[in-house]
């Protein structure tokens, strides 16, 4: 294979800077959303805790609340019972020298400063007895020990996931000021594409990129509002782009962006809008294009499914971050030892597909999956990471240390 990179091809790092420059200022306007609508959106202001957590002193266990200084001398101790406090109740003060039956999460009554767990107690009619001395604060969860009232609970620009929504709920906040998830339109392009479920003629293939991209875009923080397929036809492509750009904040296409006879998108986008970059020093995914059509950004990815996966994770992910007003996520890359040998046929940055194995001592090993062709979607199934092979070196020996990007970080 010959090296198809050109000295003029931008690096992935340069491409990401262009993305940021173009997109950071286009983040959607803030809206206020209820918690159950806010998943995946991004805070436009810090969330300050209106109450502390826990909001009041409460029992960590099912047992008996008591005043530790009411235990005098050596045990065993006996305390008469003073009723019961369940979680949710507002307790009356504890009678001096008594114990109160209490459940986990119930407010500590005034006058009590410790809880003895029920397992250590003998209940004898209206009194309890036990041997062990109980120190103040035993099994008491103190108001504000987890979070103080007035503390910043979530910083501005935080993306709201399960924990963040739970935190807002836990301090009683029902609505949040956020930028909503950017709306994404997905268009698969190619005359050969047909719908799964339909009858296939020779030369035709089922459109998989539409499903790959729609699902990835959702997982990466987008709100997919349109997913469609379009043939390699100029007029049809213009119509599809008009529709997509009218409903979405970002259009993501696949196919038709290289130099083949049916690759119409580069010329069409240049005529209908602007191209910010086209072709990167990257494998797979070299022909990827970033432009603007009808004032809407478009990432036009190549058609091969593995190229789609790579360019989507490397470029659509940060694009969605910028449009959401969130800091661009930094891919997590870990060092692993190569199990096998790897060669590149070029000097470009390459993302090969691999399997990560952790030894019993915790060390990471990585082996490339067999079938590195960018059309090999079935081989992609066996991969759980990318081997990140930087610009320059072209061969790696068994045991070499290389950087690996686990795919799980991108998937929710
Ligand atoms: P292209 O980038 O249009 O030259 O397409 C490159 C390769 O990807 C060709 O083999 C296409 O048939 C294939 N391809 C393009 N679009 C899709 C799609 N939506 N689903 C599956 N394969 C595709
Ligand atoms: Mg094509």
Q: Where are the chain's structural domains?
A: 8-28+181-323, 42-53+148-179, 58-141, 334-407
Domain 58-141 sits in CATH at 2.170.190.11
Average pLDDT estimate for 244-269: 97
Nearest to 339 by CA among 365, 317, 316: 365
User: What is residue 118's DSSP assignment?
Assistant: G
Give strand ranges (E) for 60-161. Answer: 63-66, 77-85, 99-102, 114-117, 122-124, 127-130, 140-141, 152-154
- Among protein residues, the one with the nearest Cα to ligand 1's atom 23 is 303
What does the pLDDT read at residue 4?
Answer: 53
3 has a pLDDT exceeding 90: no
Average pLDDT estimate for 260-269: 97
The CATH topology of domain 8-28+181-323 is: Molybdenum Cofactor Biosythetic Enzyme; Chain A (3.40.980)
What does the pLDDT read at residue 7?
Answer: 58
For residue 304, report the distance from its CA to the centre of ligand 2, in Å: 9
What does the pLDDT read at residue 6?
Answer: 60
For residue 352, report the distance from its CA to the centre of ligand 1, in Å: 19
Q: How confident is the model at residue 2 (pLDDT cuts 50, 70, 90)?
A: very low
For residue 294, report the distance from its CA to the centre of ligand 2, in Å: 23
Two tokens, residue 28? 């959607």
Q: How confident is the model at residue 5 (pLDDT cuts 50, 70, 90)?
A: low
What does the pLDDT read at residue 75?
Answer: 86
Two tokens, residue 82? 């003073």
Ligand found nearest the CA of 305: 1
Average pLDDT estimate for 203-222: 98
187 has a pLDDT exceeding 90: yes
Using CB distances shorter than 6 Å, the residues near ligand 1 are 188, 190, 192-193, 205, 207-210, 254-256, 258, 260, 263, 302-305, 375
In CATH, the architecture of 42-53+148-179 is Alpha-Beta Complex (3.90)
Over residues 342-389, the pLDDT tens digits come to 999 899 999 999 999 999 999 999 999 999 999 999 999 999 999 999
Ligand found nearest the CA of 302: 1
Two tokens, residue 72? 């005098």
For residue 183, report the distance from its CA to the centre of ligand 2, in Å: 25
Most informative mutation of 188, 191, 205, 288 for ligand 1 (most atoms within 8 A of CB): 205
* Domain 334-407 belongs in CATH node 3.90.1150.10: no
39 has a pLDDT exceeding 70: yes
260 has a pLDDT exceeding 60: yes
Average pLDDT estimate for 163-188: 98
Q: Are 389 and 403 in contact (CB under 8 A)?
A: no
Two tokens, residue 268? 């069409």
For residue 68, report the distance from its CA to the centre of ligand 2, in Å: 78
Ligand found nearest the CA of 191: 2
Cα→Cα distances 360→345, 357, 363, 367, Å = 34, 10, 7, 17
């Amino acid at each position: 294979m010959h090296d198809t990179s050109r000295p003029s091809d931008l690096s992935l790092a340069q491409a990401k800077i262009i993305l940021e420059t173009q997109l950071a200022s286009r983040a959607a306007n803030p809206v206020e959303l209820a918690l159950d609508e806010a998943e995946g959106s991004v805070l436009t202001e810090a969330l300050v805790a209106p109450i502390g957590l826990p909001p009041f002193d409460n029992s960590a266990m099912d047992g008996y609340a008591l005043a530790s200084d009411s235990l005098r001398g050596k045990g065993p101790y006996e305390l008469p019972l003073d009723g019961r406090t369940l979680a949710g109740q507002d307790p009356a003060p504890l009678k001096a020298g008594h114990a109160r039956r209490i459940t986990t999460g119930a407010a500590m009554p005034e006058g009590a400063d410790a809880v003895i767990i029920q397992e250590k107690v003998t209940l004898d009619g209206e009194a309890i007895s036990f041997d062990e001395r109980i120190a103040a604060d035993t099994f008491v969860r103190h108001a504000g020990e987890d979070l103080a009232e007035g503390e910043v609970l979530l910083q501005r620009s935080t993306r709201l996931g399960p924990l963040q929504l739970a935190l807002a709920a836990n301090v009683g906040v029902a609505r949040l000021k956020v930028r909503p998830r950017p709306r994404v339109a997905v268009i698969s392009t190619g005359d050969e594409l047909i719908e799964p479920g339909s009858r296939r003629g020779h030369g035709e293939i089922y459109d998989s990129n539409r499903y790959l991209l729609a699902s990835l875009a959702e997982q990466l923080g987008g709100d997919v509002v349109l997913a469609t397929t379009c043939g390699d036809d100029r007029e049809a492509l213009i119509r599809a782009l008009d529709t997509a750009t009218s409903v979405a904040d970002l259009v993501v296409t696949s196919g038709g962006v290289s130099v083949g006879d049916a690759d119409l998108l580069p010329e069409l986008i240049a005529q209908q809008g602007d191209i910010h970059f086209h072709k990167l020093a990257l494998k797979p995914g070299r022909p990827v294009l970033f432009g603007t059509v009808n004032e809407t950004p478009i990432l036009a990815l190549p058609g091969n499914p593995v190229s789609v996966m790579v360019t989507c994770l490397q470029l659509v992910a940060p694009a969605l971050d910028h449009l959401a007003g969130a800091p661009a996520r930094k891919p997590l890359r870990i060092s692993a030892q190569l199990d096998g040998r790897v060669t590149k046929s070029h000097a470009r940055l390459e993302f090969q597909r691999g399997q990560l194995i952790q030894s019993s001592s915790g060390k990471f090993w990585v082996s490339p999956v067999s079938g590195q062709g960018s059309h090999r979607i079935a081989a992609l199934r066996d991969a759980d990471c990318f081997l990140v092979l930087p610009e320059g070196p072209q061969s790696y020996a068994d045991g070499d240390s290389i950087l690996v990007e686990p795919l799980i970080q991108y998937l929710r």
